Amino acid sequence: MQAILALEDGRLFRGKAFGAIVERVGEVVFNTSLSGYQEIFTDPSYAGQIVVLTNPHIGNYGTSPSDAESARPYIEGLVVREFSPVSSNWRSTEVADEYLERNGVPVIAEIDTRAVVRHLRANGCLRGVISTNVEDTDALVAKARAHKKMVGTDLASVVTTRAVYAWDANEPRNETGDKLLPVADAGAKETLHVVAYDFGIKQNILRMLTRENCRVTVVPAKTPAADVMAMSPDGVFFSNGPGDPEPLEYAVANVRELQGKVPLFGICLGHQVFGIALGGKTYKLKFGHHGGNHPIMNLETRKVEITAQNHNFNVDPESLPEDVVRTHTNLNDDTLAGLRHKTDPMFSVQYHPEASPGPHDSHYLFRDFRKMMEEFKK
């Protein structure tokens, strides 16, 4: 079956339909990861977005429940060069085509994804439609233009958990499904209680916190800070998530109320919320950072980390007050990639230290969070 990707500026890309035969609208972004497509599908930070994968062969190794970062795919649609109708991997339980069809995600394949990426790099993120209605292209372009823009949209409250739950600390698994062994001395240390705000949290974040001998309680995005403090946490984590951080006034208020009372750690959307709570401002990047190969400089150690990233917004470092230290910078475009408060126990990064998919260079940040909690208890 023929399919079409229609962008809001009138650019059309024609290909073949796979996955679910449905029409979907979203902001079109590209991801440069070489592997880990199922983790990308199931990352809640991609809610509201159609994802273009630059790796030309997708679906080769099928899908597996242990590779999922959440209960279902969150991408609105998928754009690829070649989409494999079969899988070749002993871990695969379902081919990618059937998996996406079952979860209602449309796929357009056999198009020049290089041309799509170059168009997005030149023109920025664009709203688009994936459809099998290949004749009425004017209507599809109009539908893309009419779709709500990402700026000003709160998606964290849409994807968050609806109820408080305790993460199963007994059987944490890594991204390959194997039991995740704790770090060398974690078992000898006191179990610490971390309350994690779910703005679209990935399961590997919970695995990494558990690996540091932390008992994790996950709470909905709008949980009041007073309710969190009533749980007697040793630390509070603010997760990744989709959408614009500016409308998340409830999250900003919670950070301000918790600041100084308990150690805080934020990543991605959590990092942006920290920036706003500390007096800074955020802005939308031209085409975002999406992929597992982004170089970050740790300004305090001068070491370079190759990181996994997935975000469209960033904190303006010039807007931050003097009591906030810039700790990391993106070497591709010199955007702010990390901050910490000079006196209060809180820090955040604009990338995914848990990876999945991606390199493991930044796992140390979870150890740093544990050390911060230990020092705060003394």
Per-position b or e across 279-310, b if 16+ CB within 10 A of its CB: ebebebeebbbbbbebebbbeeeeeebbbbbb
* Set 289, 290, 328, 352: catalytic member: 352
| Residue 354: active-site member | yes
Taking the C-alpha atoms of residue 284 and residue 176, their distance in angstroms, rounded to an integer, is 34
Helical packing angle, 203-211 and 364-377, nearest 10°? 50
Identified catalytic residue from 268, 271, 289, 328: 268
Q: Which of 27, 101, 175, 354 is catalytic?
A: 354
| 268 carries an active-site annotation | yes
Structure tokens at 137: 């292209």
Task: Assess whether 289 carries a catalytic annotation.
Answer: no
**Known catalytic residues?**
268, 352, 354
